[in-house]
């Protein structure tokens, strides 16, 4: 469980990136943190694995305050995949990259081998195992970074902008993968502004603006609330936009899924034909 209690954070250059954030994320929850560029999303999630410590307020991971546990202990529990994979990759080959953290955590050689293979396979990277991550395309590098974190099986997984540079199929795989993590009772937190991806995943959505949380609730509710979305520089998903443009029909407001939209429209169109 992650508990954020009235957290303020100021960078050394004086920028106040968090201005009183409170939030509880329970074990096994799937949360999307959304909001405009510079809203403080990355700053917030860096508090979850102790990379940043609050200037004021407290962050607790499984009831331990992040200022009081070692970064290594936290890292084992909280896997973090950075927004820019280049800040995370440094080994000669994809395979070594994935093995690196496992070695650091002291896993046995045989287990390391197995975990590396498993992670390469899961993310469709097996063909690149002997290739330098820097020879790969941006999307492929991002997957190497994800594989290297998944390999040590952290309990909480944080993905900062995981869909950037990913194509539709990879996003679909990512979605399947997150759902799988959910069934294993893992906590998954994604930072993203990919509205269509969130609409398909249907997580809890936390919306940020200028260092504060401005909305928190089900994806269906938040992604169809045009007023708060505009504040956070987010565009509603296309299905929601279509429904918003037909106010006189008094359609249900919280529709973001194509198939749900279809059911409702079919009823209307058919009764209209009669």
Partner 1 sequence: MPVIETKNLTYTYPGGTKPSISDVSIKIKKGEFALITGPSGCGKTTLCRCFNGLIPHFYQGELKGEIKVTGLNILENPIYEMAKHVGLVFQNPENQLFALSVEKDVAFGLENLGVPREEIRKRVNWTLNLTGIYDLRERAPHELSGGQQQRVAIASILAMQPEVMVLDEPTSFLDPLSAKKIFKVIYELNKKLGITVVLVEHRLDLTARYADHIIVMDDGKVVLDGEPREILSSEEARLIGIGIPKATRLYHILKKDGVKLSNTVPLSSDEMANLLKEALKVHD
Binding residues (CB under 5 A) for Mg ion: these are 42
Based on CB atoms, which residue is closest to ligand ADP, 13 or 183?
A: 13
Based on CB atoms, which residue is closest to Mg ion, 207 or 240?
A: 207
**Three-state secondary structure string covering the chain:** CEEEEEEEEECCCCCEEEEEEEEEECCCCEEEEEECCCCCHHHHHHCCCCCCCCCEEEEEECCEECCCCCHHHHHHHEEEECCCHHHCCCCCCHHHHHHHHHHHCCCCHHHHHHHHHHHHHHCCCHHHCCCCHHHCCHHHHHHHHHHHHHCCCCCEEEEECCCCCCCHHHHHHHHHHHHHHHHCCCEEEEECCCHHHHHHHCCEEEEEECCEEEEEEEHHHHCCCHHHHHHCCCCCCHHHHHHHCCHHHCCCCCCCCHHHHHHHHHHHHHHHHC
Question: 231 touches which of Mg ion, partner 1, ligand ADP, none (CB within 5 to 8 A by kind)?
Answer: none
Interface residue with partner 1 among 193, 206, 213, 223 (CB under 8 A) is 193
| Interface contacts to ligand ADP, rule CB under 6 A | 11, 13, 15, 17, 35, 37-43, 135-137, 139
Question: Whole-number minimum distance, CB 37 to Mg ion, in Å?
Answer: 7
Residues 37-96 that bind partner 1 (CB under 8 A): 37-38, 83-84
Does 168 bind partner 1 (CB under 8 A)? Our answer is yes
Interface residue with partner 1 among 172, 176, 179, 185 (CB under 8 A) is 172
Question: 251 touches which of partner 1, Mg ion, ligand ADP, none (CB within 5 to 8 A by kind)?
Answer: none
**Size of site (CB under 8 A) for partner 1:** 50
Binding site for partner 1 (CB under 8 A): 35-38, 83-84, 135-140, 161, 164-172, 193, 195-196, 199, 230, 232-235, 237-239, 241-242, 245-249, 258-259, 261-262, 265-266, 268-269, 272
């Amino acid at each position: 469980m992650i508990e954020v209690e009235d957290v303020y954070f100021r960078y050394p250059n004086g920028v106040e990136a968090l201005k009183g954030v409170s939030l509880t994320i329970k074990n096994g929850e799937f949360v999307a943190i959304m909001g405009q560029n510079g809203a403080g999303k990355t700053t917030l999630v860096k508090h979850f694995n102790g990379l940043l410590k609050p200037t004021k307020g407290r962050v607790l991971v499984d009831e331990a305050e992040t200022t009081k546990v070692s970064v290594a202990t936290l890292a084992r529990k909280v896997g973090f995949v950075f927004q820019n994979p280049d800040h995370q990759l440094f080994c000669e080959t994809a395979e070594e990259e994935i093995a690196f953290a496992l070695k650091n955590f002291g896993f046995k050689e045989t287990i390391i081998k197995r975990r590396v293979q498993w992670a390469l396979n899961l993310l469709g990277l097996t063909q690149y195992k002997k290739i330098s991550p820097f020879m790969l395309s941006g999307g492929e590098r991002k997957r190497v970074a994800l594989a290297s974190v998944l390999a040590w099986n952290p309990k909480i997984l944080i993905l900062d902008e995981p869909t950037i540079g990913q194509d539709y199929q990879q996003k679909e795989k990512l979605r399947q993968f997150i759902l799988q993590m959910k069934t294993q009772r893992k906590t998954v937190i994604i930072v993203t502004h990919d509205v269509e991806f969130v609409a398909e995943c249907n997580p809890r959505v936390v919306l940020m603006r200028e260092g504060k949380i401005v909305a928190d609730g089900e994806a269906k509710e938040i992604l169809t609330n045009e007023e708060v979305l505009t504040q956070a520089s987010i565009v509603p998903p296309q299905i929601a936009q279509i429904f918003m443009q037909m106010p006189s029909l008094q359609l249900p407001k919280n529709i973001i899924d194509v198939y749900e939209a279809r059911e409702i429209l079919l009823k209307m169109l058919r009764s209209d034909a009669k």
